[in-house]
Amino acid sequence: MLPTFTFTTTPALVFGPGKLHCLPAQLKRFGSRLLLVVGGHSFLSGKEWPLLNRSLEEHGFACHLERISGEPSPLDIDTICRKYRRQAIDAVVAIGGGSVLDGGKAISAMLVEQQPVMTFLEGVGTEKPSGKKVPFVAVPTTSGTGSEATSNAVISTVGRDGFKKSLRHDNYVPDIALIDPGLTISCPTPLTVACGMDTFTQLVEAYLSTKSSPLSDTLALEGIRAVIHSFKNTCANGSDLRARSDMAYASYLSGVVLANAGLGAIHGFASAIGGLFAIPHGIVCGTLMASANRATLNKLRETGENQAALIKYSLLGRMVSEGNPAGHEAQDRFIAYLEDLTSSLRLARLADFGISEQDFDPILRRSGNKNNPVQLSRDELAAILRTRLNH
């Protein structure tokens, strides 16, 4: 008999190479006044923007344009919302990487609220959001965070008192996720690596999560297969549209499964480290993935308390192996695969971003094990950081 479980809302999905041209038709249902949120300059300076801009004009849309460079801060969100709150925006459209999508998602919500976004952030705010929003459409140009499928927007400040916290409500799931893998072809290799490792980490952590379900497991494995098949190809040949399509699909699935199964120790670290240091989220996830999974696997073997997770590690090992290894051999092959990725992709060490062992205490105070298949002690968590600290 299947266990009981719930599954959250997913966006209306438009997927495929060239689908950006469908955006104006998709937006007609909302109205004609749009707020477009984009990143720094890459999309606006690319070949797609002039064509899209002309098409939007031909379809009668009036567009305002705002940029979010880097991870969105409370000041970014509040400043943009004050500017447009009285302008009767019909829809917010975010076109960019995960940070741009998070920013657009937060703006669509805060245009309706009358208080600063800090008021509603988990862990630092004092109130829960109403769930009302301006319709929101997510158009990712990277394959990483899966924000196009989730109900939360990550807002951050960096520094001693910094944080990465979520603005979250079930209603904040995008109304439409329009995923055109062709938009990711221009991503430089370092960004492709960081985003791909974020996707892979989310899929694996959701699959191993104590909150996983048969449905989330099925989707996570589908995404993991796509990553195994195509991630290295996208890093070696960014113009490979088939590989880019696989990674865009995997990224979307990673958002779906993290929203339903949660994440583990790696993302517990990533939230803490990202609030204290200016380090890309995907790099934190990628550089810690092998060592965190090794620590988790070792603890599972020692305690024997979660046999289902050990079985899952064995399946992951078979997915990355020739032949049909089983048990410890299969599990170790998965860890070896992660270690090979760490090495072949030359993932940065924590010290490259100014992190030292003296910073472990504030990092560990803010990190958590929630949903990890086994709880790791403070010493075990510190050992994971130490493994990836220096060259």
Residues 6+ apart with CB under 8 A from 148: 11, 101, 138, 139, 140, 174, 177, 179, 251, 252, 255
pLDDT digits (tens, 9 = 90+) for 2-22: 888 899 889 999 999 999 999
pLDDT digits (tens, 9 = 90+) for 259-271: 999 999 999 999 9
> Does 17 reside within a domain?
yes
> Does 104 reside within a domain?
yes
> Which of 184, 215, 241 delimits the end of a domain?
184
Same domain, residue pair 57 and 194:
no
CA 222 – CA 253 distance, rounded (Å): 8
Burial of 50 (0-12, 13-18, 19+ CB in 10 A): exposed
**Local confidence band at 391 (pLDDT 50, 70, 90 cut-offs):** low
**Range with lowest mean pLDDT among 91-100, 138-147, 157-166, 281-290:** 157-166
> Does 3 reside within a domain?
no
Residues 6+ apart with CB under 8 A from 304: none
Residue 50 DSSP code: H
SS3 state of residue 178: strand
Which residues are paired to 139 by β-bridges?
A: 95
> Does 2 reside within a domain?
no
Same domain, residue pair 163 and 297:
no
Q: What six digits make up the tokens of 302? A: 């020692």
Same domain, residue pair 167 and 231:
no
CA 195 – CA 182 distance, rounded (Å): 16
CATH code for position 41: 3.40.50.1970
pLDDT tops 90 at residue 384: yes
> Does 327 reside within a domain?
yes
pLDDT at residue 374, rounded to an integer: 97
- Average pLDDT value over all residues in the chain: 95
CA 201 – CA 221 distance, rounded (Å): 12
pLDDT at residue 45, rounded to an integer: 86
> Which of 153, 169, 184 delimits the end of a domain?
184
Q: How large a percentage of the chain has pLDDT more than 70?
A: 100
Q: What six digits make up the tokens of 162? A: 């910094």
Angle between helices 378-387 and 281-303 (to 10 degrees): 130
CA 74 – CA 109 distance, rounded (Å): 13
**Local confidence band at 313 (pLDDT 50, 70, 90 cut-offs):** very high
Same domain, residue pair 98 and 233:
no
pLDDT at residue 368, rounded to an integer: 86
pLDDT digits (tens, 9 = 90+) for 148-167: 999 999 999 888 778 889 99
pLDDT at residue 383, rounded to an integer: 96
pLDDT at residue 3, rounded to an integer: 86
- Mean pLDDT across 212-236: 97
For 7-18, b/e burial (b = at least 16 CB within 10 A) is: eeebbeebeebe
Interior angle at CA 16, CA 237 and CA 260, nearest 5 = 95
pLDDT digits (tens, 9 = 90+) for 59-118: 999 999 999 988 999 999 999 999 999 999 999 999 999 999 999 999 999 999 989 999
Selection from 104, 112, 102 nearest residue 134 by Cα? 112
Residues 6+ apart with CB under 8 A from 376: 265, 295, 296, 299, 369, 384
Same domain, residue pair 220 and 324:
yes
- Mean pLDDT across 162-191: 95
- Mean pLDDT across 209-232: 97
Same domain, residue pair 175 and 194:
no
Same domain, residue pair 213 and 265:
yes
- Mean pLDDT across 171-193: 96
Residues 6+ apart with CB under 8 A from 99: 39, 68, 70, 71, 72, 154
Same domain, residue pair 161 and 218:
no
Same domain, residue pair 93 and 76:
yes
- Mean pLDDT across 186-194: 95
Boundaries of domain holding 147: 12-184
CATH code for position 216: 1.20.1090.10
pLDDT at residue 221, rounded to an integer: 98
> Which of 128, 152, 184 delimits the end of a domain?
184
Same domain, residue pair 155 and 273:
no
pLDDT at residue 149, rounded to an integer: 97
> Does 1 reside within a domain?
no
- Residue pair 243/131 in contact (Cβ under 8 Å)? The answer is no
Number of independent structural domains in the chain: 2
> Does 25 reside within a domain?
yes
**Local confidence band at 390 (pLDDT 50, 70, 90 cut-offs):** confident
Same domain, residue pair 102 and 61:
yes
> Does 5 reside within a domain?
no
Same domain, residue pair 238 and 379:
yes
pLDDT at residue 212, rounded to an integer: 97
